[in-house]
Amino acid sequence: MCGIIGIVSKEPFTSKEPLSRLKKLEYRGYDSWGYWNGKQLTKKMGKIVVYDDGTDVNLAICHTRWATHGGVTEWNAHPHRAGKVTIVHNGIIENYAELREELKKKGATFASETDSEVIAHLVEQGVNEKRGMETILKGLLATLKGTFATLIMVDGDDKLYAAKRDSPLALGICKSRMILASDIYAFSDATDKAIFFENDEYAVLTADSYAFFGADGQPIKKTPKTFAWTTVAESKDSYDHFMRKEIDEEPVVCQRLIVSLQGEQHDKFEQLVGLIRKAKKTVFTAAGTAYHASLLGASFLHQQGINAQAIIASEFENFITVDRETVVIAVSQSGETMDVIEAVKYSKEKGATIASIVNVPYSTIERMSSLSLQILAGPEVAVASTKAFTNQSTVMLALAQAFGYANGLEQLPEKLTETLQLEPKLERLAKELHHHRDLYVLGRKLGYPVSREIALKIKEISYIHAEGMMGGELKHGTIALIEEGTPVVSLVYDDDPKMRSSTQEVKARGAHAVVIGSTEHDELRVPAESEAEFAILASTVGQLFAYHLAKERGLPIDKPRNLAKSCTVL
Ligand code: F6R
């Protein structure tokens, strides 16, 4: 994944400015980081430390890493240098092994195990051969296979160079300063004017000018877009973690979304309803948490007689046929998940109509869609998605309502507030159960996607192995794993007899059964009056439970190991 920043400025700046911008991109990866200011190279392991080196410069690049090729070490951290050339890179160079061999034969010595370092050597080769930078960049686009957003500095040159394919890259245009970043978060405090790089474009930047070129070397005229986006929430306020703060925001952001779907976004919403009505097939595609919200959406629509499915983006081509009569709805918090982007590209090639449901405005997926709805959850800082899931599911609920599914959408914010009152009980439960290595979550119908979502949340932040599954599948294998004391969470809406039976079956084998239900006799009762409401409210219960399990285990809740907020690699 990785995050990159480059600044070229008339007024000098010290390390503090680029590093504080880089810090805003830490959600993209946080195993190591590095900074180059034309004089000194800094590479460190772990999370970014924003410091002031007191050295005034006009040009700098920096990088926060989520390792793909090469272990998490200081020497694999970016920037990478070759001779006079320094680069940072986000993406994966697929043909790096062969390029590396060719470059070695020509005398290059590699200092890291990364795929990225070949970019530095390729540019260096061009510089040594005295080819102009524009020619070198054009050559780079032709030579590199794979994905990249790369920033390049050359010793003694006061320009900043950039090239992109598939990995996100935006240029923030400030007064006498240009800021390149993986997303607009990083500069939204400094400007509201941005240019988004499209695929196979490169650019040459000075403090007050930009020139863009296509893969053929021809200049491209780009017009800055004015964007409106609140800056990243930088404070946890009185909360211990962003995740907990973001769960508490759910009633407010849900209300904001409902109002917007009835007002500002109403026309777009109706257009989406129209597209679904007209299409022969509606296919949601997404990854992780967003996929679970998509499963809810597909099920809601299916119950209203619409031919709807949800397909995991990374397996899209293998499990679905799409055509001109299909509407594909990409669901993504970040709008940058590469698996989803690939599924969208494939669907476009097949002639499908593309719509999307995103949180981050101006993101790649939004820009690839003919129609896009925003979930308006505001910046989500914690890696584990919470309020975004609630709002993605709220859009699904609104769609279901448009097709006649009565579900109490308007009361949802209030009910979310009520659900949050269960926290003390969940805290006690987490104290009891946090030592376990395995945990199971069972659900049926709409409870099935929720069981998977709760299990995902538990896995990613508490590192407890959790499996979310269909209650009916238990007896077909997994029940063999239930022993004395194994925690099993059942999602039981309105006393569903089948879910009650599944719960009895695990209890009979000694499981520590926990029920999240909707009736008076349920200890963990959510105030749901429809199955759809139950699904969303039970997910919030699961988020709080996962949070407290992780807290009991003393884990880094907002930045769990090995994860990144935005998955921009395949
Ligand atoms: C889990 C989580 C991930 C994301 C997934 C898709 O809490 O956050 O599973 O949901 O990586 O990300 P987006 O929604 O940005 O496409």
Best residue among 334, 368, 375 to mutate for probing ligand 1, ranked by most atoms within 8 Å of CB: 334
pLDDT at 406: 77
Angle of CA points 401, 404, 407, to nearest 5°: 45
Residues 455 and 399 in one domain: no
pLDDT of residue 408 exceeding 90: no
pLDDT bin (cut points 50, 70, 90) of residue 233 is low
* Domain-terminating residue out of 187, 204, 226: 226
> In whole angstroms, what is the distance from residue 138 CA to residue 199 CA?
13
385 Cβ below 6 A of ligand 1: yes
Q: Which of 220, 215, 205 is nearest to 141 (CA)?
A: 215
Tens-digit pLDDT profile for residues 435-464: 999 999 999 999 999 999 999 999 999 999
pLDDT at 361: 83
> In whole angstroms, what is the distance from residue 85 CA to residue 122 CA?
9
Torsion on CA atoms 225, 231, 232, 237, rounded to nearest 10: -170
Tens-digit pLDDT profile for residues 90-147: 999 999 999 999 999 999 999 999 999 999 999 999 999 999 999 999 999 999 999 9
Q: Is residue 504 part of a domain?
A: yes
* Domain-terminating residue out of 176, 206, 226: 226
Tens-digit pLDDT profile for residues 482-532: 999 999 999 999 999 999 999 999 999 999 999 999 999 999 999 999 999
Q: Which of 388, 498, 518, 397 is nearest to 445 (CA)?
A: 498
Tens-digit pLDDT profile for residues 73-89: 989 999 999 999 999 99
Residues 398 and 275 in one domain: yes
pLDDT at 564: 75
pLDDT of residue 45 exceeding 90: yes
Q: Is residue 512 part of a domain?
A: yes
Q: Is residue 412 part of a domain?
A: no
pLDDT at 569: 66
Residue closest via CA to ligand 1's atom 7 equals 384
Residues 472 and 339 in one domain: no
Residue closest via CA to ligand 1's atom 11 equals 288
567 Cβ below 6 A of ligand 1: yes
pTM for this model (two decimals): 0.83
pLDDT at 262: 92
Q: Are 78 and 118 in contact (CB under 8 A)?
A: no
Q: Is residue 240 part of a domain?
A: yes
Q: Are 138 and 120 in contact (CB under 8 A)?
A: no
pLDDT of residue 232 exceeding 70: no
> 405 or 399: which carries more pLDDT confidence?
399
How many C-beta atoms lie closer than 10 Å to residue 96's C-beta?
Answer: 20
CATH code (residue 45): 3.60.20.10
Q: Is residue 413 part of a domain?
A: no
546 Cβ below 6 A of ligand 1: no
Tokens standing for residue 233: 């929430």
Q: Are 328 and 343 in contact (CB under 8 A)?
A: yes
Angle in degrees, 0-180, between the axes of helices 531-552 and 447-462, rounded to the nearest 10: 10
Atom of ligand 1 nearest to the CA of 287: 6
Q: Is residue 231 part of a domain?
A: no
Q: Is residue 415 part of a domain?
A: no
276 Cβ below 6 A of ligand 1: no
Q: Is residue 207 part of a domain?
A: yes
Residue 565 Cα to ligand 1 midpoint, Å, equals 7
Residue 386 Cα to ligand 1 midpoint, Å, equals 10
- H, E, C per residue of 447-483: HHHHHHHHHHHHHHHHCCEEEEEEHHHHHHCHHHHCC
Residues 299 and 397 in one domain: yes
Beta-ladder partners of 13: 57
Q: Are 398 and 409 in contact (CB under 8 A)?
A: yes
Residue 233 Cα to ligand 1 midpoint, Å, equals 19
> What average pLDDT does the chain have?
94
Residues 291 and 197 in one domain: no
Residue 30 Cα to ligand 1 midpoint, Å, equals 16
Residues 211 and 246 in one domain: no
* Number of compact structural domains in the chain: 3
Residue 418 Cα to ligand 1 midpoint, Å, equals 26
User: Tokens 């308006």 map to which residue?
Assistant: 376
Residue closest via CA to ligand 1's atom 6 equals 287
Residue closest via CA to ligand 1's atom 9 equals 288
Listed in order, strand segments (DSSP E) in 185-322 are 193-196, 201-206, 209-214, 219-220, 225-226, 281-286, 308-312
404: CB partners within 8 A, 6+ apart? 304
Atom of ligand 1 nearest to the CA of 289: 10
How many C-beta atoms lie closer than 10 Å to residue 107's C-beta?
Answer: 9
Residues 72 and 221 in one domain: yes
> In whole angstroms, what is the distance from residue 293 CA to residue 340 CA?
14
CATH code (residue 292): 3.40.50.10490
pLDDT bin (cut points 50, 70, 90) of residue 30 is confident
Enclosing H/E stretch for 564: none
Tens-digit pLDDT profile for residues 152-183: 999 999 999 999 998 999 999 999 999 999 98
pLDDT bin (cut points 50, 70, 90) of residue 230 is low
Residues 197 and 256 in one domain: no
568 Cβ below 6 A of ligand 1: no
Domain that holds residue 458: 421-570
User: Tokens 């040159």 map to which residue?
Assistant: 157
Residue 150 Cα to ligand 1 midpoint, Å, equals 24
> In whole angstroms, what is the distance from residue 205 CA to residue 203 CA?
6
Residue 388 Cα to ligand 1 midpoint, Å, equals 9
Residues 460 and 386 in one domain: no
pLDDT bin (cut points 50, 70, 90) of residue 227 is confident
- The full DSSP string for 179-220 is EEESSGGGGTTT-SEEEEPPTTEEEEEETTEEEEEETTS-EE
| Active site positions, annotated | 2, 565
Residues 60 and 83 in one domain: yes
Q: Are 91 and 165 in contact (CB under 8 A)?
A: yes
> In whole angstroms, what is the distance from residue 95 CA to residue 399 CA?
44
Residues 344 and 430 in one domain: no
* Domain-terminating residue out of 205, 226, 247: 226
pLDDT at 439: 98
287 Cβ below 6 A of ligand 1: yes
Tokens standing for residue 405: 């599914």
> In whole angstroms, what is the distance from residue 14 CA to residue 54 CA?
6
334 Cβ below 6 A of ligand 1: yes
Atom of ligand 1 nearest to the CA of 334: 15
Atom of ligand 1 nearest to the CA of 286: 16
Q: What's the mean pLDDT in 34-45?
A: 96
Atom of ligand 1 nearest to the CA of 383: 8
Q: Are 510 and 504 in contact (CB under 8 A)?
A: no
Atom of ligand 1 nearest to the CA of 392: 14
> In whole angstroms, what is the distance from residue 358 CA to residue 329 CA?
10
How many C-beta atoms lie closer than 10 Å to residue 301's C-beta?
Answer: 23
Residues 53 and 165 in one domain: yes
